[in-house]
Every structure is written in C-alpha cells, then in structure tokens.
C-alpha cells in the first residue's frame, strides 16, 4: 500500500505523537509498504528529507496559533500524492481537518488516530474547545473512515469520539531497545547516587499538565535516601527548580535535562520505580510508562482515563490519586519497601509489553485496519 502519515509535528520536534508516527512508519515500511510522513515545515527543518529511513515532506504553515499549525497549503500538497490511504494523527487538530477535506475530494480513505482531547489553558479555553468540537472537530471525525483510540477508557470518556465506532489499538514501544538487561550503573555514577539509594524516575516534557510539581512535593514524604531524577525539557522547568529550592530538596531532585534517545534506556535501568503523575486529558496513554515496563521497572501512574489502562493495579505497578503528593509518596514507598513485590511487578511489566505493546503487534493491527477499509 501507498500510505501517507499525516502528523502536525514530527522529528526533530519531540512528543508522544511524533515518536508514535516515526515508529509506526518504520515498521510499516519493514512490512513492505510505501510510507511518507507529511508534516509542518518548521524553522531549521528541510522541506524534504529521510528520517530513520522514513521519507518526510513538510508543508509551510500559514501561521502557528496556540501551538497549532495552520496548513491550508496541505490541501494542494496532498492532492498531488498518489496514495491508497491517509492516516492522520490528532492533536493538534487542524492538520487532520485539512487532510480529511482533501481526501474526500480525492476519493481516498482517511483513518484518524485520536491521541487525546484538546485543552486550552485560558479563561475562554473551554468555550473555544467546545466550539471546535461542534464544528471542525465534528466534521473531521464524521468524515473519517475509521477512528482509532489508544485505550478503552479514554475513548469512552472523550466528548469528541465517545459515540463513534472506534477501534482500540494501543501505543507501542521498542522492546529491544528498552529491556531489563540494560545497565544503569553509569547514570547512577554520573549523578553520585549510591548503591543503597533509591531512584524515582520521571521522563517526559516539563509542562504543567504532566503534574511534575506534585511528584516533586511527594519527595518531602519519603526518606532522604530516595532520589528523584527528572528527564526532559520544557517551559515549566524554572518553576520546578524554584519549587525544589523552596522545599529544600536540592540534594534530592536531579534535573537531567534533555537526554539523547540512545542513553534513555540507561536511565530506566537506573530506576527503582517510574512515576507518571499526569493530571490532564492531554495525557491519554503515556508511552514513557511502556518504556519503563519494557525495562522491567515497576510504575506508579495517575488513576485517570487512558493512563490507568496501561497496567493492572497491583500487578505491573500501582495507581495514584492525581494531584495528591502524599498518595504518590505512599505508592512509591510501597514499591520501594517491598523489593520482592517490585521485582515481580517488573517481570510482569516486561511480560505484558511482549504480549500487547511491541511494534510488531501494533503495526500489524493498524495494517489490518487499512486492509479492512480498502478491501
């Protein structure tokens, strides 16, 4: 098949959707398909290039409004493509709107992976989101030939897609790169973490909806031998560093910054527990939790739709109440103080990844959706 993956942002821009589209494209190519990613032309990127074996074509935006690329030029660029199917990824939302309108005219099927709901953090944000859902959003969803959501609970609670006949296909992880055989010795040595000290790890963007401020506050309720390693960058970093200083946690919380992908498995290997403390519907799955599970690390994740589906409570990890530092600390303490249980959770985490969340499994499921529509 000739497949277009339509992604508002793409590498080198980092995020869950971007990594999902890159890995999906690579595995579809391995399965014999002709895949091209169409995305936004950002400053410092090339109009056409090949990323990790994946052809990429970028379209210049008219503007970028509230982190949303406005791409009317996509209609012309896409209409010139010879393809069997277009697979759009949202959010940000408008790229898929232009995509589905164009495929309607081309007579080409359109698949939409609905990664998460929209949230706008200002006074009239909820009103603007509702207006979008009732107009452009409703059109995009209704004209898509198939909707994919990544979990049951998120799709069932999303006002945009809860009444749609969606297919649940999860995100996936590179289970070869992230595995229990990796060593974290170098990372512990780099940050001066002793062999008897425990490591709580967070990986992801440093933004408010990730709930990292609640994670940092949880450190006050744990012993001094528990170190927190925060991997990632973002506009919220300065606030979090002030929070660390205010709470006298400078010797407990380490900001590792942006870590090259090739080094990331070592950080998971250095961890005793991984925490994803997200508090918003902008977090619908949590690929980083899969990376931890694949690495054999027990996890504590927020008990919110989507994220909670990644584990079975008490088996691969524990669910924490969002926005409750004491509850997060309690769940982390339970894992750290029960090494046999933690080891068993890590083993079950690796097992569930191998059974459900490898890219071979997920790419085959998505390929099946394409074949079903075209057939």
DSSP-assigned letters across all residues of 249-285? -TTTEEEEES--TTTHHHHHHH-SEEEE---STT-SS
**Quick one: pLDDT band at residue 372, thresholds 50, 70, 90?**
very high
Give me the pLDDT at residue 305, please: 92
Decide if 342 contacts 371 (C-beta within 8 A).
Answer: no
The domain made up of 2-172+358-374 has a fold known as Rossmann fold (3.40.50)
Please tell me if the domain spanning 2-172+358-374 has the same topology as the one spanning 185-356.
Answer: yes
What is the spatial distance between Cα 148 and Cα 166, in angstroms, rounded to a whole number?
Answer: 5
User: pLDDT tens for residues 208-236?
Assistant: 999 999 999 999 999 999 999 999 999 99
pLDDT reading at 160 higher than 90: no
User: In the chain, what are the domain boundaries?
Assistant: 2-172+358-374, 185-356
Residue 31 has pLDDT above 80, yes or no: yes
Q: Tens digit of pLDDT for each residue in 241-294?
A: 999 999 999 999 999 999 998 999 999 999 999 999 999 887 878 899 999 999
The pLDDT tens digits for 93-119 are 889 999 999 999 999 999 999 998 887
Write down the pTM of the prediction: 0.91
CATH code of the domain made up of 185-356: 3.40.50.2000
Which long-range contacts link 154-157 to residues 24+ away (Cβ below 8 Å)? Answer: 154/116, 154/281, 154/284, 154/285, 154/305, 154/306, 154/309, 155/114, 156/305, 157/305
How far apart CA 79 and CA 369 sit, in angstroms, is 23
pLDDT at 353 over 80: yes
């Amino acid at each position: 098949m000739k497949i277009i993956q339509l992604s508002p942002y793409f590498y080198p821009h980092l995020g869950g959707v971007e990594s999902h589209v890159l890995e999906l494209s690579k595995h579809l190519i391995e399965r014999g398909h002709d895949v091209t990613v169409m995305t936004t032309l950002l400053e410092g990127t090339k109009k056409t290039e090949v990323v990790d074996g994946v052809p990429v074509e970028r379209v210049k935006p008219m503007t970028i409004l509230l982190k949303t690329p406005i791409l009317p030029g996509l209609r012309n660029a896409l209409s010139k493509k010879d393809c069997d199917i277009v697979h759009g990824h949202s959010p940000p939302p408008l790229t898929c709107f232009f995509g589905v309108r164009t495929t309607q005219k081309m007579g080409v099927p359109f698949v939409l992976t609905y990664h998460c709901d929209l949230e706008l953090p200002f006074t009239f944000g909820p009103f603007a989101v509702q207006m979008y859902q009732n107009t452009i959003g409703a059109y995009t969803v209704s004209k898509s030939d198939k909707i994919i959501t990544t979990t049951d609970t998120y799709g069932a609670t999303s006002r945009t897609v809860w009444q749609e006949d969606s297919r649940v296909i999860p995100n996936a992880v590179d289970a070869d790169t992230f595995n229990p055989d990796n060593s974290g010795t170098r990372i512990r040595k780099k940050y001066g973490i002793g062999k008897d000290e425990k490591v709580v790890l967070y990986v992801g963007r440093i933004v408010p909806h990730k709930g990292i401020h609640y994670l940092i506050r949880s450190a006050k309720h744990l012993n001094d031998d528990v170190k927190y390693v925060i991997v990632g960058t973002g506009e919220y970093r300065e606030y979090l560093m002030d929070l660390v200083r205010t709470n006298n946690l400078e010797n407990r919380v380490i900001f590792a910054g942006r870590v090259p992908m090739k080094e990331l498995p070592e950080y998971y290997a250095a961890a005793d527990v991984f925490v994803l403390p997200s508090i918003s519907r902008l977090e619908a799955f949590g690929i980083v939790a899969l990376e931890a599970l694949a690495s054999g690390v027990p996890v504590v994740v927020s008990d919110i739709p989507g994220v909670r589906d990644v584990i079975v409570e008490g088996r691969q990890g524990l669910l924490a109440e969002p926005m409750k530092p004491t509850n997060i600390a309690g769940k982390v303490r339970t894992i750290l103080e029960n090494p046999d249980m933690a080891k068993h959770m890590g083993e079950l985490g690796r097992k569930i990844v191998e059974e459900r969340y490898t890219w071979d499994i997920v790419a085959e499921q998505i390929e099946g959706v394409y074949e079903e529509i075209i057939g």
